[in-house]
Structures are given as C-alpha cells and as structure tokens.
C-alpha cells in the first residue's frame, strides 16, 4: 500500500479532484479558480480545494472513506447554485467555451423564458447525475459525449442535438412535450402508439409482477412486495438499466410473451416469477429470459419457512439479485464476443473481461487483465474497468501468478485507488481496496471499506465473502461466519462458489470447529484446484482431525500448483492475522516441514 492512510476524495459535481500529498503522485489545484471556505480539519482528514466549474463556486468538502456517495450528493447540491451563462446573440448556443469562466462575447441576449428553460434542463441533468450516484466522467461515458460537452451541459450550454443524445441514453425528458416524445425520468419507456421505444445501448431489464399463485387476492402484497424489492435492488447495479415498476405493473394479471415485453418496453432481459404460500411455508420461483429470443438464462426456486414475511422477503430478494447478476454479465460477454474485435468499445471489453474473471483460472485472469487494460486505454475515466483490473491483479498476486506477490498487491491497491477516485460508489473497487488494507493488517480501515462495499450493493456475494475474510483475519470469527454463510446462500452455484466455501471453512478453522470446516474445505478444492491457499487450509484441518493420509495426498496436490509448502513461510505470511496460531498448529500436526 502506498502511504499510511486510505485516500480522501474531494468531489465537485461528481468529479474527483487531482490527488497527491502522500500517495506517490503529484497533487495540484483544481483546473478552475476556487475559494476555500473555512472548515476545521478533523484528525486524519484532509481539506482540499474543490475544482469549481466556474466563477461563484465556493466551498470545501471533507470526505473520509465510506462517505463517497454523500460527497457526490453534496457536490451536486453545490452545482445547483451555479450561475447559468446567457446564450449567444441570435439564439441557440453552439461551440461555447467550457468552464471555467464565461466567454466575453456571450452577450445577455435571449428571453427570460429561454434562460429559465436552460436552467431547468441543467438542473434536471445535475439531479439525474446525483440520483444515479455517478461522476461526470461516467455520465460522459454513458451518453458518449465528450467531457467538455458535459461541462457545458451542466451550466446550460447545449444544442438540440446534444439534448437528443442525452435523452436517448438516459430516459430523461428534457425538451418540451411538443419537441420530443421521450419518457419522464422516473418512468419506464412506455410504448408510443405505432412505435417501439428505442432500447438503451447497454444491458436493460424489466421485472414483471410476480404471480400470486395462492388463489387469495389478499396475498397479492407478498408477490408485489418481492417484485418491488427486486426492482429496487437491481436498480443499484448502475451498469444495468431497469424499467420502473409503474410501467412493469401494467402487465400484472396478463399472460404476455417476453418478446412482446421486449418490443413494448425496449429491454434485453425479462425477469418473471411466482409466489405460493401454504402451511406456514413460502415458495418463490424466478426465471430470467433473453427478451429478444425467449431463451431462458436462469431459473431457481426458493423454499422458506414463513416465520417473518418481511425477513423472508428480504432474503429471497437478495438471493435472486445475487444469483442473476453473474448470468447477466455472462450474457453481455457473449454478446460482446460476437462482435468483431476491432469494434469493441470499453463496455464490450469490460463485460468480456468479467466473464473471464468469473471463470477464476490463471489463463482467464491474464486474458481479462489484457482486455481491461485495452478498455482503460479507450476510456481512461471508466471506473468499472479500473476496479475489475484491481481485483484481477489482487487475485493473481494471491494465487502466486504474479512475479512478485507483494508488488502485485501494491499494483492492485493502485488500481483500486484509481477506481475509487473516479467513482467512490464502485463496489468492486471498494472491495479490492478493503482486501488490500486487510492484507496490510490495517483491519479497521479494511472493515470500513468492506462495509461500504455492502452498503453500495448488499447483494454482492463476493463482496460479502471478502468482508467475512477481513473479519476472521481481525479475530471476529462468529461475525465472519454469518457473512460467509450469507454469501453461500445468496449464490451457491456461481463460479466463485469455491471461494465462498473456502473462506467459510477458514472461519470455522479459526473458530476451532474443525469437523464442521472439513466438508466446506473439501468442496473448495473440488471447485477451484488452482489456488494453493485452499489446500493449505484443508491440510491444516486434516492435521487437527488426525487425518495424516489425506493430508499427505493434499500436500502432493498442493505442491503441483504452488511453491513448496513450508510452515515457516506461512508463519511469516499469516503473522498479524487472528487465525495464524491455529492454522500453523494444524500444518505442523499434518507433517508439513518447517
């Protein structure tokens, strides 16, 4: 890790300020003139100048780890007070200079109504950015607009062509009703008679109302509640366009083909399901389909005791979202792979990389890193690509696939910091940064980052496992088991399942529950045999349980995928972790040489 603290992030209008002061990089003032208001510095926090988009922007925002989302909202509230420059003489503004400062040849011509309309449009866009919790760079990436164009847009300088582009990519209704027939910001794209809505360029989904199969209309609230909760949680996946419930609920009680839904709502995927209750139990089924072809991508059934309807509803919602997210990524990767390599944009390269990362192996990891570096070369401000690269590098270092393990961890930390600076609400980046801090024995800071990860996406099963890993390293074994157990229940069959069971087994080993740990550790090796760390834990567990023959077989298998196992090496590697002593004792009992 570079420096002794997690970076602080100072945001103005959703943009990270240039960084420096202690992290190996040159700092500097923001690109625009800005005055700093008085603010007292709390210990461990930094006050920096906000790079203002123009004259009149004053203020300082102190942002600590875990405050990124609030920082974005505060920055956009600040942006709401910015003056809007008058249009040029003669009407529409074209080619006006970006902030800071307004060009001197912009005369105050134009009616008050035109000025008010430009203010209204700029405010709607700023509100959209704040509501979506994205940076200006991400907004530029989503809309395929240049940074300078977005800067102008946020202060009311735009053309009709720019507005049309923004409306087509965001669903915002910016122009007057007689100028456009776009949907409002808080509604799904309702079909216009005789036409079909233009689907978003990225992945999109509609969650149809789950069917109440009980025969009792009074139980509709259960099915409706699950539908609404799934829609809400999917909306937190900011790479996914989710149709609002007001539009999807128009299909309630109707038997429709998913291809019809695709035509009417303009989506790629449709999730539908049903709810049954009987004798104190509830059964929820879900099916995810490709809306264009009708092909089923995923299906699952959840049976639970109906002791607390809201707790059960929350659990099933989390499990459904955690289960379908990897399948959506995989389908997007297939779409991207079908395109000519030269035609892939940053998003296409990234979703292909995600599919490779999800396959966990060494060759796939190397290919994923190459794709992500290409994506960053195309779009340097794409936080998701930086975040996934940080995870891929961290995992490669952990598995001894990186030439220098410690340098690999440092490289992963740098990529994670870059991603968080671009987008503090990027869960993959916060997760990897937390793991880097945990590896550096900075336990409290690691736990803060990983809690922030789950605040951003409670359905992130890998992030929940990472949180459990950091907890057990810090000595909180019971809390770790609760988190890793949730991850296994949330996504028991995904490609990271071997990691989930390995960390759950490690937490049980740390808690000296060796008999319970053994089946989880055996399952982890069966799921992913390329990581020597899984074998290490299993060998230690066999030592504690008095299984020398099994331990020897696993030692031989383990030495084929990693450097020779030695107690002294692991003692140094695990020093400072709460499970170190019990882990080393098991290895010694299994006959591992010093």
Instruction: List b or e across 284-308, with b for residues whose CB sees 16 or more CB atoms inside 10 angstroms.
Output: bbbbbbbbeeeeebbebebebeeee
Domain that includes residue 593, residue range: 459-594
- What is the rounded distance in angstroms from the CA atom of residue 207 to the CA atom of residue 204? 10
* Any domain includes 272: yes
pLDDT higher than threshold 70 for residue 470: yes
Overall average pLDDT of the 209-237 stretch:
85
Q: What pLDDT does 220 receive?
A: 85
Which tens digits make up the pLDDT trace of 343-355?
A: 567 777 888 888 8
Q: What is the pLDDT averaged over residues 150-164?
A: 83
β-sheet bridge partners, residue 296 = 289
More reliable by pLDDT, 365 or 308 = 365
Residue where a domain terminates, one of 78, 98, 114: 78
Confidence band (pLDDT; 50, 70, 90) for 476?
very high
- Would residue 173 count as lying in a domain? yes
Residues 91, 59, single domain; the answer is no
In a domain, 373, yes or no: no
Confidence of residue 21 (pLDDT cuts 50, 70, 90): very low
Q: In the predicted model, what is the mean pLDDT of residues 441-461? A: 92
264 vs 200, residue with greater confidence: 264
Same domain, 594 and 464: yes
Query: Helix, strand or coil for residue 451?
Result: helix
**Rounded to an integer, what distance in angstroms lies between the CA atom of residue 429 and that of residue 411?**
13
User: Among 242-251, 546-555, 584-593, whose mean pLDDT is lowest?
Assistant: 242-251
* Domain identity same for 46 and 175: no
Judge if 519 and 568 occupy the same domain.
yes
117 with 67, same domain: the answer is no
- Domain annotation covers residue 542: yes
- Per-position b or e across 102-123, b if 16+ CB within 10 A of its CB: beeebeeebeeeebebbbebbb
Same domain, 467 and 555: yes
Is the pLDDT assigned to residue 177 strictly greater than 90? no
Whether 73 and 130 have beta carbons less than 8 Å apart is answered as: yes
pLDDT at 295 over 90: no
- Would you call 344 helix, strand, or coil by DSSP? coil
Residue 133's pLDDT is: 64
Residue 452, pLDDT score:
93
Query: Does 391 have pLDDT greater than 60?
Result: yes
| 445 assigned to some structural domain | no
Looking at the fold, whether 505 and 574 belong to one and the same domain comes out as yes
The least confident of 93-107, 128-142, 168-182 is: 93-107
Q: Does one domain contain both 478 and 564?
A: yes
- Domain count within the chain: 4
Distances (CA, A) of 275 to 226, 290, 313: 9, 22, 11
Per-residue pLDDT at 114: 67
**Cα Dmax for the chain:** 88
In the numeric block, which tokens belong to residue 319? 């499990």
Q: Which residue has the higher pLDDT, 517 or 197?
A: 517
Would you place residue 141 in the very low, low, confident or very high pLDDT band (cuts 50, 70, 90)?
confident
Domain edge (last residue) among 309, 341, 367: 309
State the pLDDT at residue 336.
62
18 pLDDT more than 70: no
pLDDT (tens digit per residue) in 26-65: 333 333 333 333 333 333 433 333 333 333 333 333 333 4
- What is the pLDDT, as a whole number, of residue 337? 60
The pLDDT confidence band at residue 94, using thresholds 50, 70 and 90, is very low
Whether 91 and 68 map to the same domain: the answer is no
Summary mean pLDDT of the chain: 75
The answer to whether 566 and 527 are in contact (CB under 8 A) is no
Q: List Cα–Cα distances, 263 to 192, 243, 260, 321, in angstroms.
A: 11, 13, 5, 24
Higher pLDDT, 88 or 489: 489
Same domain, 283 and 153: no
Do residues 158 and 255 share a domain?
no
Is position 93 within any domain? Answer: yes
Within a domain: 377: no
The most confident of 9-18, 134-143, 451-460, by mean pLDDT: 451-460
The answer, yes or no, to whether residue 507 has pLDDT greater than 50, is yes
Kindly report, residue by residue over 409-425, the tens digit of the pLDDT: 999 999 999 999 988 88
- Report residue 132's pLDDT band, with 50, 70 and 90 as the boundaries: low
Could you tell me the CATH number of the domain that includes residue 116? 1.10.260
CATH code at 490? 1.25.40.10
Average pLDDT of the segment spanning 539-546: 94
- Which residue, of 58, 78, 98, is where some domain finishes? 78
- Rounded Cα distance, 25 and 478, in Å: 40
Which pLDDT score, from 0 to 100, does residue 254 have?
83
Quick one: pLDDT at residue 335? 66
Which residues make beta-bridge pairs with 303?
Answer: 283
Residues 69 and 97 occupy one common structural domain: no
* Whole-number pLDDT of residue 176: 59
Q: Report, as an integer, the average pLDDT of 3-23.
A: 35
Tell me the pairing of strands 296-305 and 281-290.
antiparallel
- The CATH number covering residue 271 comes to 3.40.50.10610
pLDDT at 140: 81
The answer to whether position 563 is within a domain reads yes
């Amino acid at each position: 890790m570079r420096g002794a603290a997690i970076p602080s992030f100072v945001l103005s209008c959703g943009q990270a300020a240039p960084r420096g002061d202690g992290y190996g990089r040159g700092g500097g003032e923001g690109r625009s003139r800005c005055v700093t208001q008085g603010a007292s510095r709390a210990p461990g926090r930094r006050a920096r100048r906000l790079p203002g988009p123009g004259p009149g922007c004053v203020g300082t925002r102190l942002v600590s780890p875990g405050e990124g989302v609030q920082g974005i909202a505060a920055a956009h509230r600040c942006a709401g007070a910015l003056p809007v420059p008058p249009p040029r003489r003669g009407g529409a503004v074209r080619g006006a200079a970006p902030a800071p400062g307004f060009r001197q040849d912009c005369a105050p011509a134009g009616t008050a109504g035109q000025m008010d309309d430009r203010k209204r449009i700029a405010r709607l866009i700023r509100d959209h950015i704040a509501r979506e919790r994205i940076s200006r760079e991400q907004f530029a990436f989503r809309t395929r607009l240049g940074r300078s164009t977005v800067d102008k847009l946020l202060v009311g300088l735009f053309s009709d062509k720019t507005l049309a582009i923004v409306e087509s990519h965001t669903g915002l209704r910016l122009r007057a009703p007689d100028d456009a027939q776009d949907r409002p910001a808080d509604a799904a794209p309702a079909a216009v008679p005789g036409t079909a809505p233009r689907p978003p360029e990225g992945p999109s989904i509609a969650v149809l109302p789950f069917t109440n199969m009980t025969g009792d209309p009074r139980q509709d609230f259960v099915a409706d509640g699950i539908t609404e909760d799934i829609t809400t949680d999917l909306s937190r996946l900011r790479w996914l366009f989710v149709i609002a419930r007001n539009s999807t609920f128009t299909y309630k009680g109707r038997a429709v083909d998913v291809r019809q839904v695709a035509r009417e709502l303009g989506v790629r995927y449709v999730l539908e399901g049903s709810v049954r209750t009987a004798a104190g139990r509830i059964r929820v089924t879900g099916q995810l389909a490709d809306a264009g072809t009708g092909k089923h991508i995923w299906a699952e059934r959840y049976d639970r005791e109906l002791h607390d309807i809201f707790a059960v509803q929350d659990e099933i919602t989390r499990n459904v979202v955690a289960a379908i997210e990897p399948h959506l990524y995989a389908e997007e990767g297939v779409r991207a792979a079908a395109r000519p390599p030269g035609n892939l944009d940053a998003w296409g390269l990234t979703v292909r990389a995600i599919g490779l990362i999800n396959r966990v192996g060494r060759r796939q990891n190397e290919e994923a890193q190459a794709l992500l570096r290409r994506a960053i070369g195309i779009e340097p401000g794409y936080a998701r690509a930086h975040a996934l690269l940080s995870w891929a590098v961290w995992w490669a270092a952990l598995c001894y696939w990186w030439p220098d393990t410690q340098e690999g961890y440092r490289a992963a930390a740098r990529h994670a910091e870059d991603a968080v600076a671009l987008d503090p609400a990027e869960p993959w980046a916060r997760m990897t940064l937390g793991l880097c801090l945990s590896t550096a024995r900075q336990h409290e800071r690691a736990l803060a980052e990983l809690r922030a990860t789950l605040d951003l996406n409670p359905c992130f099963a890998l992030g929940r496992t990472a949180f459990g890993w950091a907890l057990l390293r810090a000595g909180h074994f019971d809390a770790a088991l609760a988190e890793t157990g949730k991850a296994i229940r949330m996504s028991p069959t995904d490609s990271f399942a071997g990691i989930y069971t390995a960390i759950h087994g490690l937490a049980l080993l740390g808690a000296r529950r060796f008999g319970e740990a053994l089946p989880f550790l055996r399952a982890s090796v069966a799921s992913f045999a390329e990581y020597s760390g899984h074998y290490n834990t299993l060998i230690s567990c066999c030592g504690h349980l008095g299984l020398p023959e099994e331990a020897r077989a696993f030692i031989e298998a383990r030495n084929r995928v990693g450097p020779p196992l030695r107690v002294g090496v692991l003692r140094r590697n695990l020093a400072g972790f709460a499970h170190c002593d019990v882990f080393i004792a098991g290895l010694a009992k299994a006959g591992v040489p010093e």
